[in-house]
Amino acid sequence: MTIDKYLLAFILASLPVHAAQQKPPARDQSQRPVAAGNEATELANGWQLLAQGRTADAATLAARMIATNPRSGAVLGLALEAAIRASGAAAGLAAYEKWLGQRALEEPAAVRRIAEAILDEAAAPSSDAAVRATALHALARAGRARAAAELDALRSIPAAARVMAALGDEAAVEVLLAGFDTAPVGGVAVIEALGSSGRPAAVGPVAARLDSERSEVRAAAAEALGRLNATSAVEPLKGLLSDRNMYVRARAAGALLRIGQNDGVPVLREMATDTSAPVRLLAAEALAAQPDDAWRSLVRELAGAPDPEVQIGAAKLLMAYDPAAAIGVIEALEKHENPVIRELAGRAGGDIGITDLAVLRRLLGSDHSLQRVRTAARVFDVTR
């Protein structure tokens, strides 16, 4: 396993200046490491143990060093690597959080190393296609040539192609567009992926879906066009403001707001005062393009609604303004008795654009595999 350059720089910066000039103490290779005279020597000893595959000995040494050097970043680096190599990313996260304790500041390189371990595990061929594609995409962006090569083979798998397209992969977008006219019921998922892709080539095909007989397709197309900033679709979107389906009207109004058109605001203001919490959430999601104090109050109220799905939607909107409250809602619902709610909560966390490393580190411990991987990918972006 290679050491990420971010972590390596972190370790080297923490070492005493003379560390590189010192040699590890002589010892019988069959025995445990002998006592060392200073941190630099013990660190060299520990990394040599890891190089020999003696992870248990390295972990023992690191634990002893942390007890006497609790604030040393270099010791943390050794302990983290030993835990990850011995028991995986979850063990690394546990070791880091134990070291972190009540400290207020995160160690970016340590969080990144844990994220890298999560991505490496998720990139295994046995992983779910969407999870694997997300992991490989993040690793490829970080310069892993092998990950980039493996992505090529995944584009033929629909679930992976949708994930990659949503992340902006141009080749994956072309794959989706090639089969767009014959897309089955999963066409809504394809539209959503194209809407997140940011690719202008998707505008025309998606706009053609505004005339679909299926309301969920019209709504998905409207929202996707808003995300694509499709100014060429303004007039068709305005036409949907009088659609027979309220969900479609809300998505069209929200899309217009994203594009800079306020024609749908009266529709949304009326929906924001509806007695139904799901309807108010629809309005809040659409009005998120122009948040104000009234909008924030609405979102906070919805975060406490009786309906768990409404809580999840509100938490995603609340993240930019009160991340602690938003994550609290998601974490609580990940333990819900209903497995569907647990799944929705897990997916929601992965959709949130977070930059706070403390929040990201909490999400790295999620039980939901896709959320963990999306969070790990986000850590890579934040610590790039």
Task: Measure the CA–CA gap between 147 and 175, rounded to whole angstroms.
Answer: 19
Summarize the confidence of residues 225-247 as an average pLDDT. Answer: 96
Q: Is the pLDDT of residue 32 over 70?
A: no
Domain boundaries of the chain, sorted by first residue: 5-114, 199-290, 294-350
| The two three-digit tokens of residue 166, written as one number | 């949503």
pLDDT at 229: 96
Under the banding of pLDDT at 50, 70 and 90, the label for residue 33 is very low
Summarize the confidence of residues 10-19 as an average pLDDT. Answer: 44
DSSP for residue 317: H
What separation in angstroms does the CA of 197 have from each of 143, 145, 225, 226, 277? 21, 22, 11, 12, 30
User: For the segment 289-333, what is each residue's pLDDT rounded down to a tens digit?
Assistant: 889 999 999 999 999 999 999 999 999 898 878 888 888 898 888
Task: Measure the CA–CA gap between 14 and 12, rounded to whole angstroms.
Answer: 5
> By three-state DSSP, how is residue 157 classified?
coil
Compute the chain's Rg from CA coordinates. Answer: 25
User: For the segment 70-128, what is each residue's pLDDT rounded down to a tens digit?
Assistant: 888 888 999 999 999 999 999 999 999 998 887 888 999 999 999 999 999 999 999 99
CATH topology of domain 199-290: Leucine-rich Repeat Variant (1.25.10)
pLDDT at 30: 43
pLDDT at 290: 87
User: For the segment 208-218, what is each residue's pLDDT rounded down to a tens digit?
Assistant: 999 999 999 99
| The two three-digit tokens of residue 177, written as one number | 């567009």
Task: Measure the CA–CA gap between 115 and 362, rounded to whole angstroms.
Answer: 12
Under the banding of pLDDT at 50, 70 and 90, the label for residue 6 is very low
Contact assessment for residue 163 and residue 133, using Cβ atoms and an 8 Å cutoff? yes
Summarize the confidence of residues 237-253 as an average pLDDT. Answer: 96
pLDDT at 34: 40
Q: What is the pTM of this model?
A: 0.74
Mean pLDDT of the chain: 86
pLDDT at 236: 97
Which helix (DSSP H) or strand (DSSP E) does residue 162 occupy?
Answer: helix 158-166
pLDDT at 19: 39
Cα torsion 153, 158, 160, 164: sign: positive
DSSP for residue 185: T
Q: What is the DSSP string of 267-281?
A: HHHHHTT-S-HHHHH
Contact assessment for residue 300 and residue 318, using Cβ atoms and an 8 Å cutoff? yes
